[in-house]
Amino acid sequence: MAPLLPDAAARQGPPKDVFIAVNKKVRKDNEDRITGITKKATPEVLWKGAFTQLSNSKVEANFADARTYTYNGEPVDTAYHLGYDLSVTKHYPVEAANSGVVAFTGDLGLYGNTVIIDHGLGLFTLYGHLSSIDVKIGDALGARQVIGKTGETGFAGGDHLHFGVYLDGVAVLPVEWWDAKWINDNITPKLAGESGVQIAQAQQPAKAAHRSTHKAAPKKARR
């Protein structure tokens, strides 16, 4: 845990304090950074059809799992898991879940070596704990194109892929995006007949309409 702390002095603290500092501050910093990256919407659809789960993978942890961490038998902290943990074999090739453009690569604290892909209209996928990265920012990717290999970098207890889906900066349930029927029923109709720019604009908070506080003067009756 200590290497995940950017403050060298804090790394020398008691194990419990080091863990809580990582689980609270570093986790918040990581999530804030992800939010900043995934709120920059590309005003066009870059993906097509259902997204894909890592091939041959088994789900080891679910979205929104509530986790309680213990030290010497006592609960010391909690966290929510904002993605799916997927495992196959060590250093397994990781595929892009759909077509898009690479928005981020590099170290991301608890997520270790990470790739984030922009799929357009505020939709992003995140791939964490990688042992290696084979793409760079700005690369255009096809569906199932290999972007790196699974690993155990960051806050990982074993070799696996942390897979997350973000919409306009908010972590959402990945399994829905793996479901072609769900996409056809819930997403495709909303995209039909509208341009990407219109949809991106619709995601922005509506401005309150200015209302006049003056009442119109009553009209004089004709005689």
Alpha carbons within 13 angstroms on the beta-carbon side of residue 41 total: 20
| 132-151 residue pLDDT tens | 999 999 999 999 999 999 99
Q: What is the pTM of this model?
A: 0.79
* Residue 159 falls in which region: left (phi positive, over 0), alpha (psi -120 to 50) or beta: beta
How far is it, in rounded angstroms, from Cα 27 to Cα 34? 11
What structural domains does the chain harbor? 2-189 (2.70.70.10)
| 47-86 residue pLDDT tens | 999 999 999 998 886 766 667 778 888 887 766 777 899 9
> Tokens in use for 130?
């990688």
Secondary structure (3-state) at 75 = strand
How far is it, in rounded angstroms, from Cα 176 to Cα 187? 11
Q: Around Cβ 27, how many Cβ atoms within 10 Å?
A: 20
> Tokens in use for 132?
């290696």
pLDDT tens, residue order, the chain (223 aa): 777 777 776 777 778 878 777 777 888 888 999 999 999 889 999 999 999 999 999 888 676 666 777 888 888 776 677 789 999 999 999 999 999 999 999 999 999 999 999 999 999 999 999 999 999 999 999 999 999 999 999 888 899 999 999 999 989 989 899 999 999 998 988 887 555 455 555 555 555 444 444 444 444 444 4
Own/partner long-range contacts of 7-15 (Cβ < 8 Å, ≥24 apart): 15/71
